[in-house]
Structure 1
Amino acid sequence: MTSTPSLIRSIRVLGATALLAIGLPLSAQAETLIPAAPELAASSWILMDAESGKILAEHNADEKLPPASLTKMMTAYLVEHEIDKGNLNPTDKVRISEKAWRAPGSRMFIREGTFVEVEKLLHGVIIQSGNDASTALAEHLAGSESSFADLMNQFAQRLGMTNTHYMNATGLPAEGHHSTAHDLAILARHIIEDYPDHYQIYSQRYFTYNDIRQANRNRLLWRDNSVDGLKTGHTDEAGYCLVASAKRNDMRLISVVMGTKSDEARTQESQKLLAYGFRYFDTRKLYEKYEPLNTSKVWSGAQDEVQLGLEHDLSVTIPRGREGDLKASLEIDPVIKAPVQAGQSYGRLVIRLDDKEVAEKPLVALQNVEQGGFFKRIWDSIVLFVMGLFN
């Protein structure tokens, strides 16, 4: 199918109205200079905008590395998924097995044979990084930790975490257990967006269970008020790791730092990444989903027109101060024939900066258009034939 460009006569950019012509910039601002991302003392790292998904900086971001307790982000995500679907209640009681009770490493200090609420175990996983809590939830949801790991891998593929493979629910060292900074940023974005009601747990500094009060290991929660998550990890093999997220004004960033040498190092390196992103970039929402962007002619339809728009909000992340240089264009199929189904693509919206494409989304029909009557279809076919557009 071929398409031809169609001019957007007006576009709302950053709350202002600006006339656009294809190939013409909105202004003659000088290009903003962006310094190179800071060099970090880490094996792998990435900085991503949570709204647009744009990667602002990275180093070895797709290298497979042991994720340590960053694994528990997926464990928690699966629990949140089951709660959201109504398959699990936060007040459900989980029986603690001997295996869960004996789990080595960081612990919530649950006791074998007792029953603990799902919600408390979820806090134990996220805040206290409890291997015992992770094992207990895995067994409760899937029958065994190995079966739960299989479920984790299915969800990883579904979320696009193509370089991740789980062997357990805790992150304890195991052959074949690995992830990447990029994949963990993708997971963090889903945790934030998919289950916002549970995300607030990641910002809690302390949790007490069995009269034992433990602090969240994410030191950024004390150093930066804009930071509200997510998770730390550490083993001798993995080094010190941290997935962090911060929101300032309307912009949220996600940083992943893996393989640093100390708790303090993972904190400082994460701070560097977040500071770089907030200082030099900006994220703006340009369009809302289902907002009509164009009214196009429909041939052979019961109605002569259909509105086109986006199925999802469109945000872009660009160098700070360059919003006035954005250009937009609609590329719409030259012939739209009924029947038209809402959600079907009939072109695309393209956003460019300095002639470089920075965002692209399908243009979809916002309503159904049924076929017109027999004579309407015949007449429109004749007109299309004469115009050389019949197919």
Structure 2
Amino acid sequence: MKKTAAFFAVLLVSSTAYAVVPTPTLPAAPPMPAPQISGVKAAVLIDVNTDQVLLDQNGQASYDPSGLVKLMTAYLLYQAEAQKMLQPDQHVSVSVDAWHAPGSRMFIQPGLPVTVDQLTHGLLIDGGNDAAIAIAQSVAGSVGGFVDLMNREAASMGLTQTHFVNPDGMPTPGQRSTALDIARLARALVVKFPQIEKVAGQASYRYNHITQYNYNPLAGQNGITGLGVGLASANNWDLAVSASQDGRGLVAVILGASSRAVAGTDAAAMLHYGFHGWQQQQIYPAGAMVAQIKRIDWSPETLSVITPKAINVVIPRPSQGKVESRFVAASNLQAPIKANSSVGTLDLLWQGKVLKTEPVLAKNAVAKAGWFSRLWHRAQGAL
């Protein structure tokens, strides 16, 4: 009897030892709060892949962009190379004006050999004003002609609050931009000319036996790919930083920081927020049907609306809720409509907020329906 009791006691202990304790249900963690960037005039953070603005602090206020002007100088230089107007290994004649350019320099001079590639490094790493003048003269023949190109390109990009006066960013009346415009320019630069990231993120560069160090306080750090630094006035620093991580890219722009170190600290906080506080999500693949429009005066009466490319968005971590879409037809949409023509836009919304807007296209062509087709469509609709 005692053995039997002991046996059941072992069974009881064994069964209770392996009992499963249910895990309590916890509320979802709140999204990471955006950093509060204090002591600067403006700050903007943009996701490169989706063109979404993740942080905007006074981003549309107009200020002197100082050395960040060189981002447009670099854009036009890469554009000239793409159009075969210049070659990276091509030697450039240095003018006296470029030689005597005030401010930061890479120390080019007349008669001293320098290539387009060396000027690119001097422009993006050292922020050389002499390099900017030499590039402007090589691309457009004159500084004035180059500035015209800068403003024309800014207008085509939709940088409506930006006006350039020179290619180097030296303080000049009338030169102005916004943190949002500079961020849009920086994004366009890394998207269209990704080769810039192999240059602008380097910590130093040596030319003419002189080692020049990158003024970007984050240069050389893991994931940092550029882009530019400016000093508008004493204790008035501007900074544009690009970075990549796990297939995503970000651009952070700071205007009017009290020091270079402060600009770097704030930009690093913005990048951390962008990479760790947001996640990318594909909403539609390329060619996905997002809407259909039916009209009895069309032939065929149904128009299918599709995405021209894959549509991605970034949403706060952790994901709470789902992304919704809203098709907005173009005003006065009338037949005939060609296949692959623009027929409206698609708003992507998260918790009622529009994350981004993408154009959408007609999958099929439609023509005006004749009287018999319209009569048939009415009859079909009545059934």
What TM-score results when the alignment is normalised by the length of structure 2? 0.82
Matched, 1:379 2:372: yes
Which residue pairs with 1:234 in the alignment?
A: 231
User: 1:199-248 CA deviation, whole Å, 9 max, x = no partner?
Assistant: 322122222211212122212123x4122111111242571221012222
For the residues of structure 1 that align with 2:334 and 2:153, how far apart are their CA atoms?
Answer: 38
For the residues of structure 2 that align with 1:209 and 1:314, how far apart are their CA atoms?
Answer: 44
Deviation at 1:299, TM superposition (A): 7.4
1:246-265 matches, cutoff 5 A: 246-265=243-262
Matched, 1:328 2:325: yes
Deviation at 1:73, TM superposition (A): 0.7
Judged with a 3 Å threshold, the aligned counterparts in structure 2 of structure 1 residues 173 and 36 are, in CA distance, closer, same or farther, namely same
Does structure 2 conserve the Cα–Cα contact (< 8 Å) formed by 1:246 and 1:253? yes
Which residue pairs with 1:47 in the alignment?
A: 45
Which residue pairs with 1:161 in the alignment?
A: 159
Which residue pairs with 1:107 in the alignment?
A: 105
For the residues of structure 2 that align with 1:198 and 1:226, how far apart are their CA atoms?
Answer: 14
What TM-score results when the alignment is normalised by the length of structure 1? 0.80
Structure 1: which 5+ runs fail to align? Answer: 1-28
Deviation at 1:139, TM superposition (A): 1.1
User: 1:76-132 CA deviation, whole Å, 9 max, x = no partner?
Assistant: 011111111222222232210000011111111111134522121111111111111
> Alignment identity in percent?
30
CA RMSD of aligned residues (A): 3.1
Other structure's SS at 1:133 match = helix
Judged with a 3 Å threshold, the aligned counterparts in structure 2 of structure 1 residues 40 and 278 are, in CA distance, closer, same or farther, namely farther
Judged with a 3 Å threshold, the aligned counterparts in structure 2 of structure 1 residues 112 and 273 are, in CA distance, closer, same or farther, namely same
The higher-RCO structure (CA 8 Å, 6+ apart) is 1
Deviation at 1:295, TM superposition (A): 7.2
Query: Residue type of the partner of 2:195?
Result: D
For the residues of structure 1 that align with 2:138 and 2:224, how far apart are their CA atoms?
Answer: 32
Which residue pairs with 2:142 in the alignment?
A: 144
1:232-381 matches, cutoff 5 A: 232-236=229-233, 239-293=236-290, 308-322=305-319, 324-330=321-327, 339-366=336-363, 369=365, 377-381=370-374
- Structure number, greater radius of gyration: 2
Judged with a 3 Å threshold, the aligned counterparts in structure 2 of structure 1 residues 90 and 303 are, in CA distance, closer, same or farther, namely farther
Does structure 1 conserve the Cα–Cα contact (< 8 Å) formed by 2:37 and 2:43? no
Q: How many residues align?
A: 355
Structure 1 stretch displaced more, 153-162 or 337-346: 337-346
Matched, 1:85 2:78: no
Does structure 2 conserve the Cα–Cα contact (< 8 Å) formed by 1:68 and 1:238? no
Deviation at 1:265, TM superposition (A): 1.3
Does structure 2 conserve the Cα–Cα contact (< 8 Å) formed by 1:297 and 1:336? no
Does structure 1 conserve the Cα–Cα contact (< 8 Å) formed by 2:235 and 2:259? no
Deviation at 1:176, TM superposition (A): 0.9
